[in-house]
Structure 1
Amino acid sequence: MRKLRRISAALLLTAVAAAAVGTPAAAAPPGADRGALLARHPIATYDSRAEVDSLLTAAGFHPTTSRYGVSLHQLVYRTVDGHGRPTTASGLLALPRDGGRHLRTVSFGHGTSVYRGDAPSVAPDDTFLTGPAITFASAGFAAVAPDYLGLGAGTGPHPWMDVPTETSASLDLLRAARTFVAERGRALDREVYAAGFSQGASAALGLSRALRDGADPWFRPAAVAPISGAYAMRRVEIPAAFTPEVTPRLGAAYMAYLLTAYDRSHDIYRDPSDVFAPGYTGMGELFDASHPGPEVLAALPDSIDGLLTARGRKLLLHPNARFAAALREADSVCEWTPAVPVRLYFSPGDEQAVNANTTACRSSFAARGVRVPAVDVGVDRSYSGLVHEGSELLAVPRIAAWFSQLAGSR
């Protein structure tokens, strides 16, 4: 649930990457060649640790684990959509410039984006998006950051807060990265350390659960470190959007995104006019991944009260059967039994993904006999004065240190 951000025209997709999207995949049978690498494009190189430290410090990440320079690459690869049909997606791969031939891997899921140009592999100048992968790569890991479906070099609208496709896009990027790294005479070890911020917190948990369940014959989970996630959308996050606990305009944005994305995937309402107030029935077109964040925010009311009809409010607070089933799937990310270390990171007073989400996730794991620490990273308001975004800046260096410690002990 990252703040809706401005992306410049200079960050448009390369012609080659755009051409790769949606071409050979359509002819393949469902699920065939998942993770096949279709295209690879160099993005940037930071030759030294000093360059990396300067970049991260300027963005507010306060690097403490840097050891190497880093190279960044965009990978375009085969994956599947929410119906299991072939499609393509893109993601960022960050590699240490030096270090060993065998690399353990970190998968980092980014926060909410409404615009396809606001994704790690197509926004190299946005260190809020690329900084986590750079941090982990400079610490000696291979780091992947999926753009998710419909973002980056993807096509169509993005299925927001859809754990199955977040999981499949993340897993298939790992497979593509393994191919890319092998082409360069290096290898990815089996261990995958998963982390993510906001929406990406759910993606990290979903990926780790899938790896635990044997979704890939090579990769296996090593540790999980989600940051400021909306783990209890129905019980916690939706009700909070109707209170001052969530910044009013952002609450309206998130609920509009939720309704439009879930209606595309699950057909939860008959007509937009049933749920959106007059003047706001075009939310589906607004949240189609082609509108930059500032444009989306400018088209929204000051709060959720002006956005919805009485039916729309009722649908959110008392979901119908299809909506409830979809929300149960989203809220299941903490309803499993991990056999690897898990830590939940948060900042107190989060004005977007409220802290009760972390409490609910921790309690859900505890009910399954798993003790999961909730790590208070403090508050950093340097990013537009927002606690939520600051939690990523504060947590990522701590997670890099924890993952490095775990990797060193194996």
Structure 2
Amino acid sequence: MIGTTRRAVAVLGAIAMLAGSAACAAEDKPSADSPAISTPAAQTTRGEIVSETPVAQMSAADTSTYLNSSVRNGVDAYRVVYRTIDTSGRPTTASGLVVLPRTDSRRLRVVSYAHGTLSLKSDAPSVNGATRPDRARTIMFAAAGYAAVAPDYLGLGEGPGFHPYTHAPTEVSASVDLLRAARTVAARAQRELDQDILVTGFSQGGQAATALGKALHTGQVPDFGLAALAPVSGPYDLQNVQTPAALDGRARPASAVFYFAYWLTSMNRIHHLYNSPTEAFQEPYAAEVEALFDGNHTEIAIGAALLTAPQQLLTPKFIAWSRNPTGVARDAVADTDGTCDWTPRVPVHLYAASGDRDVPYANSEHCLQALHSDKVTLIDLGDIDHGSTAGIALPQILAAFEQQAPPT
């Protein structure tokens, strides 16, 4: 019994690291005198604002206290609900965080930050500013003088429906449409945004950031371009790195189970991988796995319910399909992979840790090879765990951005 308890604690601790969670001692600050600004429901243009709610209005001193670090500027942060598209290209809405620095600059350079894996809707950056690190990470860039945005992605924050986990096409569309919404937020403050975007992100957000960087750099987004890219510890190669590591034990079993369950239930809604969960998942997990990813469960709660290993979670058919995806499974993998298949002409700095047992370092090595450009570097953060990489890398990324494209 004691051994079982210790194993449970270790597993739940590993699950807690998936999104690199950290406490940030600050609360949202909307009040009765700072209501949401709404636009008519009849508008359907992508990037149009549905509502805009102030969530943090801080002086430089307040921001320094919030970040526990000396900063130059105060910030004004907003939760924005905006129009975008779902996985089928149909109109929907999503939410995200937009933060403007309190500076005298009329034209602002922009940093887009993509958050790591979240399962609870209310943990998204635009909603949770107290117990998750992503809002603070976004505000860090704004406090340096950038306009900063952080998409919640589809199905998280105040977005309807389920979250399509690591679905690169909608990570891109949600991110781009938030940039469009952010232009409106800036214009209301008599400011404008530079069209070339500095892009970063952690974990799932590393993969989302490379997808966005690819779209911006290859001309898929007429409104914007790419200034620089700096992703952290992303699962860039699901087929050749992440899945094999999950199945052979190189990846921590707790995180491997969580990733498998989240990805399969998400992609099944898009690609119809199975008719019944029993085709993909063994009992007793098949009976509850889909309900766990309804947006109302934390990573800790899900980890406690899936206290197992990949070989006990998945059916033999789906283990074989994971090793060699064909048909709709191959299509689903393609929606996650391929975000590094382009040749950048702007600086790209990949950050990862050789000690990471949740998202193996080989993901970033494969991304480096795929990008195949002298503009790309890979920085090894050393023998540290997955959750620690963002805290170490992001200040370095801010310094690099300030050198490459200083705030105006």
**TM-score, L = length of structure 1:** 0.88
Which of 17, 39, 45 is the matching residue for 1:33?
45
Shift in Å, 1:197 = 0.5
Can you list the C-alpha shifts for 1:163-189, whole angstroms capped at 9, x where unaligned? 000000000000000001100111111
1:174–1:271: structure 2 CA closer, same or farther, 3 Å change rule?
same
Kindly indicate whether the alpha-carbon contact (under 8 Å) linking 1:301 and 1:307 is maintained by their aligned counterparts in 2.
Answer: no
* 1:383 matched residue in structure 2: none
Structure 2 counterpart of 1:206, one-letter code: A
Shift in Å, 1:302 = 2.8
1:257 counterpart = 2:257: no
Q: Which runs of 5+ in 1 are unaligned?
A: 58-62, 381-386
1:296–1:98: structure 2 CA closer, same or farther, 3 Å change rule?
same
1:310-325, aligned counterparts within 5 Å? 310-325=316-331
Q: Identity of counterpart residues, as a percentage?
A: 40
Can you list the C-alpha shifts for 1:246-275, whole angstroms capped at 9, x where unaligned? 221121111111111111111112321011
Structure 1 counterpart of 2:52, one-letter code: R
Query: Equivalents in 2 of 1:14, 1:165: separation in Å?
Result: 32
1:203 counterpart = 2:208: yes
Shift in Å, 1:326 = 2.1
* 2:6 matched residue in structure 1: none
1:135-214, aligned counterparts within 5 Å? 135-214=140-219
Kindly indicate whether the alpha-carbon contact (under 8 Å) linking 2:20 and 2:387 is maintained by their aligned counterparts in 1.
Answer: no
Can you list the C-alpha shifts for 1:6-26, whole angstroms capped at 9, x where unaligned? 99xx98x999999979x93xx
Query: Equivalents in 2 of 1:319, 1:195: separation in Å?
Result: 29
* 1:277 matched residue in structure 2: 282
Which of 263, 271, 276 is the matching residue for 1:266?
271
Kindly indicate whether the alpha-carbon contact (under 8 Å) linking 1:334 and 1:361 is maintained by their aligned counterparts in 2.
Answer: yes
1:2-401, aligned counterparts within 5 Å? 2-3=18-19, 24=41, 32-48=44-60, 50-57=61-68, 66-281=71-286, 282-366=288-372, 369-378=373-382, 387-401=385-399
Structure 2 counterpart of 1:318, one-letter code: N
Structure 1 counterpart of 2:110, one-letter code: T
Kindly indicate whether the alpha-carbon contact (under 8 Å) linking 2:274 and 2:280 is maintained by their aligned counterparts in 1.
Answer: yes
SS of residue paired to 1:170: helix
SS of residue paired to 2:126: helix
SS of residue paired to 2:193: strand
Can you list the C-alpha shifts for 1:136-176, whole angstroms capped at 9, x where unaligned? 10111000000000000011110000000000000000000
Query: Equivalents in 2 of 1:124, 1:255: separation in Å?
Result: 28
Kindly indicate whether the alpha-carbon contact (under 8 Å) linking 1:92 and 1:144 is maintained by their aligned counterparts in 2.
Answer: yes
1:404–1:5: structure 2 CA closer, same or farther, 3 Å change rule?
closer
SS of residue paired to 2:339: helix
Shift in Å, 1:297 = 1.4
Can you list the C-alpha shifts for 1:266-325, whole angstroms capped at 9, x where unaligned? 111232101111111121121121222222111102322221221221121122311112
Kindly indicate whether the alpha-carbon contact (under 8 Å) linking 1:263 and 1:269 is maintained by their aligned counterparts in 2.
Answer: yes
Structure 2 counterpart of 1:33, one-letter code: T
Query: Equivalents in 1 of 2:147, 2:388: separation in Å?
Result: 24
Shift in Å, 1:364 = 0.8
Kindly indicate whether the alpha-carbon contact (under 8 Å) linking 1:104 and 1:142 is maintained by their aligned counterparts in 2.
Answer: yes
Query: Equivalents in 2 of 1:56, 1:236: separation in Å?
Result: 35
Q: Which runs of 5+ in 2 are unaligned?
A: 1-16
| CA-atom RMSD in angstroms | 2.8
SS of residue paired to 2:63: helix
Kindly indicate whether the alpha-carbon contact (under 8 Å) linking 1:17 and 1:76 is maintained by their aligned counterparts in 2.
Answer: no
Which stretch of structure 1 is more off in the superposition, 102-111 or 267-276? 267-276
1:134–1:235: structure 2 CA closer, same or farther, 3 Å change rule?
same
Kindly indicate whether the alpha-carbon contact (under 8 Å) linking 2:232 and 2:393 is maintained by their aligned counterparts in 1.
Answer: yes
Query: Equivalents in 2 of 1:18, 1:319: separation in Å?
Result: 46
* 1:384 matched residue in structure 2: none
Structure 2 counterpart of 1:36, one-letter code: E
Query: Equivalents in 1 of 2:382, 2:135: separation in Å?
Result: 22
SS of residue paired to 1:134: helix
Shift in Å, 1:379 = 5.2
* 1:60 matched residue in structure 2: none
Query: Equivalents in 2 of 1:306, 1:106: separation in Å?
Result: 42
SS of residue paired to 2:87: coil
Shift in Å, 1:217 = 3.5
1:406 counterpart = 2:400: no
Which stretch of structure 1 is more off in the superposition, 285-294 or 107-116? 285-294
